[in-house]
Amino acid sequence: MKRWHLYPVLSLLCLSPFAQAESTGEKVLQLQQQMAVMQGELSSLVAVQQANKGSQGALADLLGRTQRLEQEVRDLRGELDTKTHALQTQQQSTAAQVQALTVQLAGGTAATASTSSAMGGGVAVLSPAAAVASAASNTSAPAVQGLGQADYQRAFDLLRQGKYGSAVTGLQGFIQKYPQSSLVPDAYYWLGQAQYVLGQNDAALKSLYAVEAHFSQSSKAPEAMLRMAEIYQAIGQSGKARTVLSKIISQYPSTPSAQKAEAQLQALPAGK
């Protein structure tokens, strides 16, 4: 009887390791599952952190570009203000010159001269607009018929109407279109005059010099040289003005231009 009582106990003792192993395996499986879940959560957290870092970097880059653009805008505004002021100043100067010339052309009167106290010789100096007005008002259609005369006359009429920018364009176009025309010296002369009124002194000197250099036999040559001397004097280069005036006297003696050159030469300040 006692042996039979021991069998259940022995059976339980024999089954206990298997039961314990199964319980441990379940716990390991549960732990593995929990670890997998935690690893998934950890990966998600890492991804979120990396995304946040990327977002912060993108935000910092965007902020930097915005600041650079703001600085560029400020720089451009400053440059625009400077150019606008310079343009307004130039427009005011040009408007004053145009108004003076318009008055001269409309009234057909002689240009008003202002005498410089430094000259002392009584030689009158005209403003650019008044000087051109005086010359243009006393000029009629060219006596010599030339190639492209209709185009030349249209450009010259624009000059007499005070449309100097359009006159410059028209005269330049005429010269390019009819380089062999007998009216080219006149075109260069009036081109220089229009540029003179617009304050384009360098361009005016270049156009007037073309008359002297390439058309020295033209009646416009000494007149162009007189205007060159006037421009040189106006921009403070009296030495060059004196050279041009002396050249007029030597190359075109006993002419009205030479007489004007002598008067202007005497009026120049000594030693300059």
Q: What is the pTM of this model?
A: 0.53
Amino acid type, 141: A
Task: Out of 19-33, 45-59, 81-95, 141-155, pick the least confident.
Answer: 81-95
Map residue 201 onto helix, strand or coil: helix
pLDDT at 110: 37
Q: Are 232 and 272 in contact (CB under 8 A)?
A: no
pLDDT at 231 over 70: yes
Arithmetic mean of pLDDT over the chain: 75
For residue 184 the two structure tokens come to 């080219």
Task: Out of 23-27, 96-100, 114-118, 164-168, pick the least confident.
Answer: 114-118
Amino acid type, 200: Q
Task: Out of 81-85, 89-93, 109-113, pick the least confident.
Answer: 109-113
269 pLDDT tier (thresholds 50, 70, 90): confident
The residue ranking higher by pLDDT, 122 or 198, is 198
Q: How far is CA 132 from CA 123, 124, 159, 160, 164, in A?
A: 17, 14, 9, 9, 11
Q: Are 236 and 203 in contact (CB under 8 A)?
A: no
d(CA 129, CA 136): 10
CB within 8 A of 127, min separation 6: which ones?
A: 97, 100, 111, 114
Picking from 219, 218, 227, 157, the residue whose alpha carbon sits closest to that of residue 192 is: 227
